[in-house]
Amino acid sequence: MKTIFLFLLLFFAVSITHAQKPKDGTYTYGIAFQEWQGKSLGATCTVIIKGDSIKIIHNGTGNLSGKKGDIIEEGILMKHINTGKWIIAHSNNDKNAKEIGGCSSGPSVIDFKLKKFWLC
């Protein structure tokens, strides 16, 4: 009985910490800058999800380079194998990338729980 209880507790803990992919739609997310410890500096973006596809679009707010309507990132939503984080992949190999997000050369990270897209 104790084993079942511990298993259920672990299952719920994992479920709470890793947000599920949102339904298809258009959302506004904050931009978290890796070099500023995740601060957004007022920048947001438009996130469009359709199936496993995602597109991040400059919505004109904050201090981002580029202009409103520019595509910042697009690809396929996958969970990174080693971290369990949602990534924006460009190939199936990205789910095994050594580095992800922020200022790395790996795929971008999107946090559905905190509604943040990570940039360098």
Work out the mean pLDDT of the chain and round it to a whole number.
87
Distance between CA atoms of 74 and 108, rounded to whole angstroms? 9
Q: What are the backbone dihedrals phi and psi of residue 95, each rounded to the nearest 5 degrees, phi first?
A: -65, -15
63-85: average pLDDT: 96
pTM of the predicted model as reported, rounded to 2 decimal places? 0.82
Check residue 14 and give its pLDDT: 43
HSE toward the beta carbon, residue 99, CA cutoff 13 A: 6
Asked whether the predicted pLDDT for residue 30 surpasses 90, the reply is: yes
- Nearest CA-CA partner of 86 in 115, 57, 110, 104: 110
